[in-house]
Amino acid sequence: MIAVLLAQTIAITGGTVYPVSGPKIANATVLIRDGTVAAVGTSVTVPADAKRIDAAGKWVTPGLIDGGGQMGLVEIGAVRGTREGALASDSVAAAFNVAEGLNPASTLVPITRIEGVTTALATPEEHLISGQAVLIDLDGGTVEEMLVKSPVGVVARLNEDVKEEVGGSRAGLAQRLRRVFNDALEYGRRKTDYSHGQMQRLSAAAADLDALLPLLRGEVPLIAVANRKSDIETALRIAREYKVKLILAGAAEGWQMAGKITAAGVPVLVEPLDNIPTYDALGIRYENAALLARAGVKVALMETDTHNARNLRQQAGNAVSYGMSWDQALRAVTLSPAEMFGVADRYGSLEPGKIANVVVWSGDPFEFTTGVEHVFIRGKEMPLTSRQTELFERYKTLPPKY
Amino acid sequence: MRPLVYLTLVLSTGCASAGARQPSTPAPVQAPASQAAAESMSVDRAQYPSTYRRHPNPPVLIRNATIMTATGQEIRNGSVLLKDGRIVAVGEKVDAPADAGVVDGTGKYVTPGLIDDHSHLGVYAAPGTEAESDGNEATTPVTAEVWAEHSFWPQDPQIPLAIAGGITTIQALPGSANLIGGRSAILKLVPARTVQEMKFPGARYGLKMACGENPKRVYGRRGGPSTRMGNMAGYRSAFTQAETYRRRWDIWRKDHKGDPPERNLRLETLAEVLRGNMYVQNHCYRADEMAQMVDLAHEFGFKIRSFHHAVESYKIADLLAKEGTSVSVWADWWGFKEEAMDGIQQNAALNQQAGGRPLIHSDSPSGIQRLNQEAAKAMYAGLRAGIPITRDQALRWITVNPAWTLGLDSIVGTLEPGKMADVVVWSGDPFSVYSKAVQVYNDGWLVYDRNDAAHQPRSDFELGQVPAPGSDR
């Protein structure tokens, strides 16, 4: 069945296409074949057997990518049995890859994708080293079918939430992280000694230290959650010391040191609508995304309320409202996260050869007036239904239709 | 268009006292009341007055703007005149006194000040420490005796953020840990040193009640209730005691024979609900539970003014419309707990369609800053599903409908001559994601101006530790 669907050729014609990789193209065609984008432009020949989708007056963009949250890892926030995002036992859970916790049948998946978010980072939570984040497409009958990339990065937290785990000081977080990295390097050099019991006791389990080796070789990025300016500094310093590829997440006070972040070439995941001050980030403010982008930082956006990941576009609209350019904001929910997560060869823009995650909108995707008209994931058109549309259909007139 | 039925309804139930309709009149200093007088008026005890004063301001004429009145009109190139804390005139052509400051509203929109009937600002203040966690007296399931105003911290740095979002009035509620959580505080959102300076003059108190998971979870292993049936028994038992208490006091009040009955602060509050002097604001998610609460209210002869959160209210929108209970809902929150699993984006629209009185609330220091955006989402979700919601109705969801829930719809919530000058000037259509409040007038006082740092109040908390926002916050 999948093969049949993938073999389909679809032509989305007449819309205003925002490829993201280049300027918008009026009255253009996006041709999808075998699950990938075959052609984009104003002079695309539509094969006779192609299914045509008239997008005249519509906006066509890549599917949106949410750079955060626990998509597939949570069903009901308050019901522990439905949460898979955190490993309670361990403050260094580097080997904990969330993939096998994913639930392809989650009701959140269709609820989210019918509003234009087609790809999301599923991130582990809690602890100094939370585990490994994976990127998923919001379609697929199995975990393997959903996975886009695993792992995308190792998540660490350098903030107030976790410092109690290391004795109660931020400095302790940094110290512990260095010790774990040092032990991982030592373990990597002396695996044989380790297996012969000829090493001193290490600060984390062998499996976790092993999982850090790709990170320490620069192959997998460290996704460091840090909000206070000093915590961001710590993350930048440790990344520099260990030559680790770094992605900052949250970075609430990042706008106060945008120059340093730019100089370090570190990209940042931002949640634009976060602005409630806490002692973890008194300088948190709406303009963060815009100020970072203006300084030259690569910014991707996230909506971390997983149940409302669909509000990623509201986040983007507000980022624009507080100073980001519209083009930057669209890039921050498409190509920029794809680049950060190392999948820009397949994701994030409408270019020949890319995976056909495509959304047809009735207008500006960030505006509330706008609705989603078509969603394609890997070239397959998604039905615009979810548990919520079914509830609505049942109750739209009372008494309900049972 | 919905007719203005509630104005008469409110006045006939005597909710809006004369004091409430003259909010700008300085309240006289209260002399210690006599024992009997104090005991006979148990809601607005003279010793806990509002000390709110209107800030004196020159008249302001906002002109050439699109005026959204929340009474069914959207006036292009219209004007609004504010004077002495009142809206004096609204229309296409308005004559202004010579001393009026003029605001050019070209390209801008003007709405009534927004009202959030479900906030925990001040009681769960930022920076969110244990020390500032004052919203739930979670020590026993019925705490009708506590008042949110006694927890409220006026220096909560979330208050200026909400003001910048166009909010002019809030109901600050106790949390939902308890079956009966205590009295709400109805507040003007203005910079102040004390909560008394914010108390909306003449506003009646609300009583916070909570259904479902929260009380069960909090008390399940602490003596109960541990079930939904236990919750129901808990409310009924409290109101049964309150009924006896009310009767005793009402008899004594008539003839003053013998010693007055002993005061009980818990029952005193509940008795006021039974007398119809206090509004029940009921946190309740599931449709079946709301129906149970309606029965309970019938048993004791009171009205539930609004079901809050009410994520399943669309399932019983007909019943709630008939009952005359409003629903205070989110645009799209769902799934964070089991009783929130059936939340849908058309909830507000379906209640509107059924003839009910929906409104959008925040229950969030973040959401309160963009109630206009939340209303927009709920409106367009309805429209896309084929429910004909008007812009005026959606505006009412965040203005006059919450005003009704608080019993203040004859005073605030619309742009009409005589109403309190709570007014927001928006950079563009308030239902666009790209629009922001540029000016906020509360009782005629310019409490926020996005383009003038002199009118961007900061809480004491922020000084010297939260980086200055600049003019663009």
Residues of chain B contacting residue A319, judged by C-beta atoms under 8 Å apart: none
Q: Which CATH architecture has domain B5-54+114-413?
A: Alpha-Beta Barrel (3.20)
Write down the pLDDT at residue B125.
98
pLDDT tens, residue by residue, B321-340:
999 999 999 999 999 999 99
Q: Is the pLDDT of residue B28 over 50?
A: no
What one-character DSSP code corresponds to residue B34? Answer: P
Nearest Cα of chain B lies from the Cα of A352 at a distance, in angstroms, of 32
Nearest Cα of chain B lies from the Cα of A280 at a distance, in angstroms, of 9
CATH code 3.20.20.140 region(s) in chain A: 64-347
Q: A286 to chain B: nearest residue by CA?
A: B473
Nearest Cα of chain A lies from the Cα of B368 at a distance, in angstroms, of 11
| Average confidence score pLDDT of chain B | 91
Write down the pLDDT at residue A90.
76
CB–CB contact A76 B346 (8 Å): no
CB–CB contact B433 A318 (8 Å): yes
The Cβ of residue A32 has, within 10 Å, a number of other Cβ atoms equal to 28
CB–CB contact A75 B161 (8 Å): no
CB–CB contact A282 B127 (8 Å): yes
- Pick from A279, A287, A395: which is nearest to B315 by CB? A395
Q: B347 to chain A: nearest residue by CA?
A: A392
Residues of chain B contacting residue A256, judged by C-beta atoms under 8 Å apart: 467
- The SS3 of residue B186 is strand
pLDDT tens, residue by residue, A332-344:
999 999 999 999 9
Rounded to an integer, the average pLDDT of B17-24 is 35
Residues of chain B contacting residue A275, judged by C-beta atoms under 8 Å apart: 161, 366, 369
Q: Which of residues 155-194 of B touch A (CB under 8 A)?
A: 157-158, 161
Nearest Cα of chain A lies from the Cα of B98 at a distance, in angstroms, of 36
Write down the pLDDT at residue B398.
99
pLDDT tens, residue by residue, A254-263:
999 999 999 9
Write down the pLDDT at residue B43.
53
Q: Enumerate chain A positions whose Cβ falls within 8 A of a Cβ in B.
A: 75-79, 107-108, 256, 273-279, 282-283, 285-287, 307-308, 310-311, 314, 317-318, 320-323, 366-369, 371, 388, 391-392, 395-396, 398, 400
Q: Is the pLDDT of residue B30 over 50?
A: no
- Pick from A278, A366, A368: which is nearest to B128 by CB? A278
Nearest Cα of chain B lies from the Cα of A197 at a distance, in angstroms, of 46
CB–CB contact B127 A322 (8 Å): no
pLDDT tens, residue by residue, A176-222:
999 999 999 999 999 999 999 999 899 999 999 999 999 999 999 99
Which of A304, A315, A321, A368 to probe by mutation at the B interface, max B CB count within 10 Å?
A: A368
Q: Is the pLDDT of residue A395 over 70?
A: yes
Distance CA A129, CA A244 (A): 15
CB–CB contact A395 B128 (8 Å): no
Q: How far is CA B207 from the centre of its chain?
A: 12
Q: Is the pLDDT of residue B37 over 90?
A: no
Q: B364 to chain A: nearest residue by CA?
A: A276
Q: What is the pLDDT confidence band of residue A89, given thresholds at 50, 70 and 90?
A: confident
Q: Is the link from the previous residue into A399 a cis peptide, with omega within 30 of 0?
A: yes
CATH fold of A1-63+348-402 reads Urease, subunit C; domain 1 (2.30.40)
Write down the pLDDT at residue B44.
57
Rounded to an integer, the average pLDDT of B388-392 is 98
Q: Is the pLDDT of residue A402 over 80?
A: yes
Which of B330, B371, B433, B450 to probe by mutation at the A interface, max A CB count within 10 Å?
A: B433
Rounded to an integer, the average pLDDT of B412-428 is 98
Residues of chain A contacting residue B345, judged by C-beta atoms under 8 Å apart: 388
Nearest Cα of chain A lies from the Cα of B113 at a distance, in angstroms, of 21
pLDDT tens, residue by residue, B157-172:
999 999 999 999 999 9
| Average confidence score pLDDT of chain A | 96
The Cβ of residue A24 has, within 10 Å, a number of other Cβ atoms equal to 15
pLDDT tens, residue by residue, B184-234:
999 999 999 999 999 999 999 999 999 999 999 999 999 999 999 999 999
Residues of chain B contacting residue A273, judged by C-beta atoms under 8 Å apart: 366, 370
- Pick from A76, A279, A320: which is nearest to B337 by CB? A76
Nearest Cα of chain A lies from the Cα of B14 at a distance, in angstroms, of 34
Rounded to an integer, the average pLDDT of B127-137 is 96
Q: B459 to chain A: nearest residue by CA?
A: A277
Write down the pLDDT at residue B395.
98
HSE-CB at A46 with a 13 A cutoff on CA atoms is 17
Least confident of A164-168, A287-291, B35-39: B35-39
Q: A373 to chain B: nearest residue by CA?
A: B384
B436 touches chain A (CB under 8 A): yes
Task: Give the residue, B39 or A166, on which the prediction is more confident.
Answer: A166
CB–CB contact A322 B338 (8 Å): no
Q: B318 to chain A: nearest residue by CA?
A: A398
| CB pairs A-B closer than 8 Å | 118
Q: Is the pLDDT of residue B11 over 80?
A: no
CATH 3.30.460.80 fits A64-347, yes or no: no
Q: A310 to chain B: nearest residue by CA?
A: B332
Write down the pLDDT at residue A7.
61
Q: B377 to chain A: nearest residue by CA?
A: A368
Is residue A384 within 8 A of residue A114, CB to CB? The reply is yes
Rounded to an integer, the average pLDDT of A2-12 is 71
CB–CB contact A76 B384 (8 Å): no
Write down the pLDDT at residue B45.
75
Distance CA A33, CA A224 (A): 38
Q: Is the pLDDT of residue B240 over 60?
A: yes
- Pick from B336, B346, B365: which is nearest to A307 by CB? B336
Least confident of A4-8, A130-134, B298-302: A4-8
B128 touches chain A (CB under 8 A): yes
Q: Is the pLDDT of residue A267 over 60?
A: yes
- Pick from A77, A278, A282: which is nearest to B337 by CB? A77
- Pick from A256, A279, A369: which is nearest to B467 by CB? A256
Q: A280 to chain B: nearest residue by CA?
A: B127
Q: What is the pLDDT confidence band of residue B469, given thresholds at 50, 70 and 90?
A: low
Rounded to an integer, the average pLDDT of A363-368 is 98
User: β-strand B109-112 against B423-426: which pairing, if any?
Assistant: antiparallel
Q: Is the pLDDT of residue B50 over 60?
A: yes
Rounded to an integer, the average pLDDT of A113-123 is 98
Write down the pLDDT at residue B472.
37
Q: Is the pLDDT of residue B366 over 50?
A: yes
- Pick from A276, A283, A367: which is nearest to B365 by CB? A276
Q: Is the pLDDT of residue B55 over 50?
A: yes
Q: Which of residues 350-379 of B touch A (CB under 8 A)?
A: 350, 354, 365-366, 369-370, 373, 376-377, 379
* For chain B, domain boundaries: 5-54+114-413
- Residue type for position B355: G
Please state, for a pLDDT cut of 70, what percent of chain A lies above it: 98
Distance CA B255, CA B381 (A): 58
CB–CB contact A285 B336 (8 Å): no
Quote the ipTM score.
0.96
Q: Is the pLDDT of residue B35 over 70?
A: no
CB–CB contact B472 A287 (8 Å): yes
Write down the pLDDT at residue B473.
36
Q: Which two tokens stand for residue B398?
A: 């965040």
